[in-house]
Amino acid sequence: MAKPVPASLEREERLPSIGFLGLGTMGTAMARNLLKAGYDVTVWNRTTSKCDALVSEGAKRGVTPKQTAAACDITFAMLADPAGAVDVACGEDGAVKGLGQGKGYVDVSTVDGDTSKAICKAVRASGAEFLEAPVSGSKKPAEDGTLIFLTAGDKSLYDKAAPFFDVMGKSRFYLGEVGNGAAMKLVVNMIMGSMMASFSEGLTLGKKVGLDPATIVQVVGQGAIAAPMFALKGPSMIKGSYPPAFALKHQQKDIRLALAMAEDVALPTPVAASVNELYKRAQAAGLGDQDFSAIIEAFELDPKQSNH
Amino acid sequence: MAKPVPASLEREERLPSIGFLGLGTMGTAMARNLLKAGYDVTVWNRTTSKCDALVSEGAKRGVTPKQTAAACDITFAMLADPAGAVDVACGEDGAVKGLGQGKGYVDVSTVDGDTSKAICKAVRASGAEFLEAPVSGSKKPAEDGTLIFLTAGDKSLYDKAAPFFDVMGKSRFYLGEVGNGAAMKLVVNMIMGSMMASFSEGLTLGKKVGLDPATIVQVVGQGAIAAPMFALKGPSMIKGSYPPAFALKHQQKDIRLALAMAEDVALPTPVAASVNELYKRAQAAGLGDQDFSAIIEAFELDPKQSNH
Amino acid sequence: MAKPVPASLEREERLPSIGFLGLGTMGTAMARNLLKAGYDVTVWNRTTSKCDALVSEGAKRGVTPKQTAAACDITFAMLADPAGAVDVACGEDGAVKGLGQGKGYVDVSTVDGDTSKAICKAVRASGAEFLEAPVSGSKKPAEDGTLIFLTAGDKSLYDKAAPFFDVMGKSRFYLGEVGNGAAMKLVVNMIMGSMMASFSEGLTLGKKVGLDPATIVQVVGQGAIAAPMFALKGPSMIKGSYPPAFALKHQQKDIRLALAMAEDVALPTPVAASVNELYKRAQAAGLGDQDFSAIIEAFELDPKQSNH
Amino acid sequence: MAKPVPASLEREERLPSIGFLGLGTMGTAMARNLLKAGYDVTVWNRTTSKCDALVSEGAKRGVTPKQTAAACDITFAMLADPAGAVDVACGEDGAVKGLGQGKGYVDVSTVDGDTSKAICKAVRASGAEFLEAPVSGSKKPAEDGTLIFLTAGDKSLYDKAAPFFDVMGKSRFYLGEVGNGAAMKLVVNMIMGSMMASFSEGLTLGKKVGLDPATIVQVVGQGAIAAPMFALKGPSMIKGSYPPAFALKHQQKDIRLALAMAEDVALPTPVAASVNELYKRAQAAGLGDQDFSAIIEAFELDPKQSNH
């Protein structure tokens, strides 16, 4: 369900035009919410057929990132990985070539701090403003307009983009200089990975001592440690089913990056270090493409078939 | 705010009479809620002056645990530690001596499985039924009648005591044989201890890389890992304030007991083992009597003053 | 090969008479070395047939621990476990009943500090002196007379028993008050357990990245970290063979006891805590009765057979 | 003490000429041993004055790495870091420009696998053979000719260089393809770092329970876990003195690299991961430039001065 255009915007003479680069699952849902809210949206995707549905719903069709950025006030980019984000921004016919004074570029892809800083540099060199804005939340929150934006970069662009964030998400944070958005995401995902490992450890221990895991999930859901994640994933974990929402290998990668970040500031992080080894164990056992809740299997791995 | 007596009870000819042994902070609040709900409650406490307030509110005054148990249909006991629980149940003038066929004894104290089994044995030898029912929740939930009961033992007593649990708490679980209540509590507290350690690790890492800890608390509070505990304790942790609701030394003790339980079933629990060392470090640093959220200090302990 | 009686002893008019209680693998080898060195040795074992060989070699046959202790100046005891050690010392017809002023009792069994203190108390109450003297070393060093004695208790008994320790071992330490012998053994075994785990981790990592494990063992054997244990066990570990010299379950138990000792003094021991979980994993995989070097399997356990 | 030239070499008509690039503490000692053994040695160092002593002892003075490599059959390089190693091999006037068919280049610097592979590629492109040969051992073994060479690369060059390795060291290993030498060094240093952490943990625990740390060092030195490192560093560790032979920050770096290597092959390494956090803690406490045995301080760090 998309949210209505805020009253304050309705009073403006002209709504800013928005570009949207990258129409994967997330990008399509986000662009659609902007469109539903009444904005003037130009969409572009490398595989152009992915634009068809949105165009039929009222979006304009962008020719290249460059042309899209040139045609719009603010351009959003949602790419799958750092290489894609750099290419769409800085490549031949890239967005940067269409940017300039008075325009803004908001990268909502999840990339590392160094990639984000490189794109920022190129965007600012064109005279435009830049914001990194990785999102917390996956497909469903993207469709429901309940994402969380962890933004950093040019504050004035943040203020201008705020109404769009409010259409696509339920909350937004401005975190200061570029790189802080990526750092915040790693911190949150590090905590998430450790929580899932500890929850798995508790479920396994409870089961071994004769408790019903389903009851443990219920008890956990009543008290001070009740987290939506436990309620959401606990029931399927008990059945040994891990439909991938956030792949275990990606969770492990984020913990690894968080550990590297901690090394840089000489901070001991013994919990995450210990948890990381469990995700590695699960990955070595072939569970990398399952949901990260498959970490529970790491507590029950059986010995190799040998002749002891 | 106490809850009204359920309609089903009002139809009964005679409400069962209830004994309540042990009037500390928790016990007083629990007994008061039973009284407010209209039940016939007899209270006893070793230091008898602690009975005065409740007696003035309508409770009967018990003379000894034995006399109280003899006078009531179901007797609850809420003692501070295993030694107290055993003494009140099995000592001279202990409750067991007043119990017998048709009566029930519900121990809501938090004790270890062995203590619980010993009390169970004595109670059943008298002909009465037994239930262990440790609670999850502290002072405020006790007053608000929102405790969680983790019960195990005689199922028929559980059914009889259900209306009373519903007056004192917001949920109740029947977990099978005696010992399972204690086990469930250890599992939940083990997960809680690891979550708090991981949250502390993330807050410290974020702070070190330049993020605002208060913002981290906010971001965590928006997503899949939002747990009431983080929202409740995060703000004071950031200020370095740890008013004791659940003492760090007790949290460490519970993890130690959970690790011992895991040893008994040969289950590796590397997360809790790693976390335990952090609580030990915090305890060695003199933080044992602070709230367990003081674990965050374990990540920032400075070196001893030496002449390197 | 037994060592000759020291010159200083030969000058004495009468050699002290020695009792030896407990003739398992270790005890038999130790008693035999005392006998070979020319001492007057009385042996006792619960299963009396185990005395036959030594008696045929010149030992006297003891009737009971009580009678043996009564007949000898100094009595050694080498029992398999704490229960056996207490029974032989303090049971009916136990050694304590034959002890008294001027006699000494040396317990070379490996027991916990509390057991040792209990035996000490009973021995001293008889007027005799007591020494705990757990040994470091197994079957081969016992036969070769190269054990290490970690003694604690009455210093004058230590001085009297020194010549016997020198026959049975290659070195001896006097560590002060009773309990320190057990503590020293736990500290050393904790370090040993961690070293073996780390060595296993390195061997496995090397193998995974394409190095020859046999070469790793050789390289390790050349430098600053060359330890006899690595040279002795490395080659068989590589073959996946773990003939039990020191059972993995006993190593795990010693680490667990060391961790408990560390908890008592609030010392964080994160390495041993982490290592303990690996021994538990190996034990859960059915390797408890193998040599403790089977810990290497904990790094390569495969996932359970499931349908991912 | 240098070793004599092997008999087999004396029978050859012409001894191969040797180049030696890089005359730091290690390089000077190694080149001197080759010189003493009667070889024809040409030395070069960026700061040319460092060549003076060896030239006065009979060495020829090289002009550039290029000229030195051109003038010699086999050229050794001992540089301080990867950047130096690359520059001397591949820079302007670098050794590669003087190499060609029939010549050999042996890099005994400690560099990472990628650097080693890059130098290898350049050397082989010239037609010459390449060997990486990082050494285990520091100043004293370099002077005494007791280093350990962990070599990898062209086997025929290894065979040709063997007599020189035998002059400079006490053992040498051929490990196959380039990169394996670096990998072996990381594996060994990872084990070493964990052993030192565990030894420190044991010393601290022993001290806390009332044992004399000096006695623990002695006991450890008697048995299966006796390693030269413990005997060498234990006594000064007890005094809180850590004269840097191998800096703690370098030990931590090697563990970090080993952990990264383990990640690449998806191997869980929980011991090293746990140990790494301790070295980080010690480093955060300002001990990075001390000897790595200063890790013992990580177990005794005091809390920060606060107002709890």
Report which of A227, A222, A239, A256 is spatially closest to residue A290, judged by C-alpha positions.
Answer: A239
Indicate yes or no: CB of A297 within 8 angstroms of CB of C304: yes
Per-residue pLDDT, C4: 52
**Inter-chain CB proximity D267 and C225 less than 8 Å:** no
Q: Residue A112: pLDDT band by 50, 70, 90 thresholds?
A: confident
Please write the tens of the pLDDT for every residue from A268-280: 999 999 999 999 9
Cβ neighbours of C274 in B, within 8 Å: 270, 273-274
Domains of chain D, first to last: 7-178 (3.40.50.720), 183-299 (1.10.1040.10)
Instruction: Say if the Cβ atoms of B194 and A192 lie within 8 Å.
Output: no
Task: Tell me the per-residue pLDDT of A124-177, one tens digit each, with 9 for 90 and over.
Answer: 999 999 999 999 887 888 999 999 999 999 999 999 999 999 999 999 999 999
Closest CA to D44 of D57, D59, D26, D29: D59
pLDDT of residue D302: 56
Chain A contact partners (≥3 CB pairs within 8 A): B, C, D
Name chain B's partners: 3 or more CB pairs within 8 A. Answer: A, C, D
Question: For the segment A15-42, what is each residue's pLDDT rounded down to a tens digit?
Answer: 899 999 999 989 999 999 999 999 999 9
Taking the C-alpha atoms of residue A226 and residue B7, their distance in angstroms, rounded to an integer, is: 31
Q: Do D211 and C150 touch (CB under 8 A)?
A: no
Express each pLDDT in C102-115 by its tens digit: 999 999 998 888 89
CA distance C90 to B100: 42
Would you call A280 and D268 a contact, using CB atoms and an 8 Å cutoff? yes
- Residue C75: pLDDT over 70: yes
Distance from CA of A196 to the nearest CA of D (A): 18
The arithmetic mean of pLDDT across residues A108-121, rounded, is 91
Say if residues B39 and B30 touch (Cβ distance below 8 Å): no
Cβ of B304 under 8 Å from any chain D Cβ?
yes
User: Taking CB atoms and an 8 Å cut-off, how many pairs form between chains A and C?
Assistant: 42
Catalytic residue among A185, A207, A208, A249: A185
Of the residues C139, C189, C209, C291, the best mutation for testing chain D's interface (the one with the most D CB atoms within 10 Å of its CB) is: C209
- Closest-CA distance, C269 to chain B, in angstroms, reads 6
Widest CA span in chain A:
80
Taking contacts as CB-CB distances below 8 angstroms, the residues of chain B near A261 are 205, 209
Cα separation, D150 vs C215, whole angstroms: 10
Q: CB-based contact (8 Å) between A211 and chain B?
A: yes
Q: Tell me which residue in D268, D269, D284 faces A267 most closely, judged by beta carbons.
A: D284
Residue D178's SS3 state is coil
Take residue D117 and report the two structure tokens written for it.
């592979």
Q: Best mutation site among B225, B246, B277, B281 for testing chain A: the one with the most A CBs within 10 Å? A: B225
**C12: pLDDT strictly greater than 70:** no
Question: Average pLDDT, stretch D242-256?
Answer: 90
With an 8 Å Cβ cutoff, are B300 and D304 in contact? Answer: yes
With an 8 Å Cβ cutoff, are A297 and C286 in contact?
A: no
Contact A293, A251 (CB under 8 A): no
Interatomic CA distance for residues C233 and C291, integer angstroms: 9
Alpha carbons within 13 A on the beta-carbon side of C90: 17
B144 in contact with chain A, both atoms CB, cutoff 8 A: no
Kind plus residue range of the DSSP H or E element containing A173:
strand A169-174
- Closest Cα in chain C to D263: C205
Contact with chain B for residue D305, Cβ under 8 A: yes
Is C267–D205 a contact, with Cβ atoms under 8 angstroms apart?
yes
Half-sphere exposure of B78 (CA within 13 A, CB side): 21
**Residue C303 forms contact with D (CB below 8 Å):** no
> Which band of pLDDT confidence, cut at 50, 70 and 90, is reported for residue C302?
low
Per-residue pLDDT, A302? 55
Instruction: Quote the pLDDT of residue C300.
Output: 80
Output the pLDDT for position A48.
95
DSSP labels, chain C: -PPPPPHHHHTSSSPPEEEEE--SHHHHHHHHHHHHTT-EEEEE-SSGGGGHHHHHTTPEEPSSHHHHHHH-SEEEE--SSHHHHHHHHHSTT-GGGG--TT-EEEE-S---HHHHHHHHHHHHHTT-EEEE--EE--HHHHHHT-EEEEEEE-HHHHHHHHHHHHHHEEEEEE-SSTTHHHHHHHHHHHHHHHHHHHHHHHHHHHHHTT--HHHHHHHHTTSTT--HHHHHHHHHHHTT----SSBHHHHHHHHHHHHHHHHHTT---HHHHHHHHHHHHHHHTT-TTSBGGGGGGGGSPPPP----
Residue C195: predicted pLDDT: 98
Q: Is B286 on the interface with D (CB under 8 A)?
A: yes
Please report residues of D whose CB lies closer than 8 A to that of B301: 301-304
User: Which residue in chain D has the smallest CA separation from C206?
Assistant: D187
Judged by a CB distance cut-off of 8 A, whether residue A239 touches chain C is no
Smallest Cβ–Cβ distance between C280 and the set B263, B278, B281 belongs to B263
Q: Mark yes or no for CB contact A267/D280 under 8 Å.
A: yes
Q: What is the H or E stretch that residue A248 is in? A: helix A248-264
Catalytic site positions of B: 185
The verdict on a CB contact (< 8 Å) between A269 and D277 is yes
| Contact list, B169 vs chain A (CB under 8 Å) | none
List the single residue in D with minimal CA-CA distance to B283.
D303
Average pLDDT of every residue of chain A: 92
| B240 contact D CB<8A | yes
> Is there a contact between B303 and D287 if contact means CB atoms under 8 Å apart?
yes
Cβ-based contacts of A291 with chain B (< 8 Å): none
Q: How close does chain B come to D283, measured CA to CA in Å?
A: 10
Contacts of D273 in chain A (CB under 8 A): 273-274, 276-277
Query: What is the C-alpha to C-alpha distance for residues D295 and D280, in angstroms, rounded to an integer?
Result: 9
Name the pLDDT band for A301 (thresholds 50, 70, 90). Answer: low
**D270 CB near a chain C CB, below 8 Å?**
yes
Is the predicted pLDDT of residue C305 greater than 50, yes or no? no
Is the pLDDT at D2 greater than 60, yes or no? no
Distances (CA, A) of A290 to A299, B104, B171, B281: 16, 49, 34, 36
D185 tagged catalytic: yes
Are the CB atoms for C54 and C21 separated by under 8 Å? no
- CA C298 – CA C281 distance, rounded (Å): 6
Report yes or no: C240 at the A interface, CB cutoff 8 Å: yes
C268 close contact with B: CB closer than 8 A:
yes
Question: What is the pLDDT averaged over residues D12-32?
Answer: 90
pLDDT for the residue A271:
97
End-to-end CA distance of chain B: 60
CB contact under 8 Å between B268 and C256, yes or no, is: no
**Mean pLDDT over residues C39-66, rounded?**
97
Q: How far apart are CA D279 and CA A219, in angstroms?
A: 39
Please state the rounded mean pLDDT for residues C253-276.
Answer: 93
Q: Which of C222, C276, C297 has the most D C-beta neighbours within 10 Å, making it the best mutation to test the interface with D?
A: C222
ipTM: 0.88
Average pLDDT over residues D56-81: 96
Contacts of C268 in chain B (CB under 8 A): 277-278, 280-281, 284
Tens digits of per-residue pLDDT, A201-234? 999 999 999 999 999 999 999 989 999 999 999 9
Closest Cβ opposite residue C274 in set B266, B267, B270 = B270
| Least CB–CB distance from A271: residue in B197, B226, B232 | B197
Range among A68-82, B11-25, C292-306 rated most confident: A68-82
Give me the pLDDT at residue B129, please. Answer: 98
Q: What is the mean pLDDT of residues D85-114?
A: 95
* Among chain C residues, CA nearest to A243: C308
Chain D within 8 Å of A249 (Cβ-Cβ)? no
Mutate to test the interface with A, among D280, D281, D283, D301 (most CBs of A within 10 A): D280
In tens, the pLDDT along C207-239 reads: 999 999 999 999 999 989 999 999 999 999 999
Best mutation target among D225, D229, D246, D265 (most C Cβ atoms within 10 Å) is D225
Contact A184, B216 (CB under 8 A): yes
Question: How is C2-71 classified by DSSP, letter by letter?
Answer: PPPPPHHHHTSSSPPEEEEE--SHHHHHHHHHHHHTT-EEEEE-SSGGGGHHHHHTTPEEPSSHHHHHHH
* Gap between the Cα atoms of B299 and A113, Å rounded: 24
CA atoms within 13 A on the CB side of A235: 5
Partner-chain residue, chosen from C184, C219, C228, that has the shortest CB–CB distance to D224 = C228
pLDDT in tens, chain B (308 residues): 445 555 454 444 578 999 999 999 899 999 999 999 999 999 999 999 999 999 999 999 999 999 999 999 999 999 988 899 999 999 999 999 999 999 999 999 988 888 999 999 999 999 999 999 999 887 888 999 999 999 999 999 999 999 999 999 999 999 999 999 999 999 999 999 999 999 999 999 999 999 999 999 999 999 899 999 999 999 999 999 999 888 899 899 899 999 999 998 989 999 999 999 999 999 999 999 999 999 999 998 654 433 33
Residue positions of C annotated with a catalytic role: 185
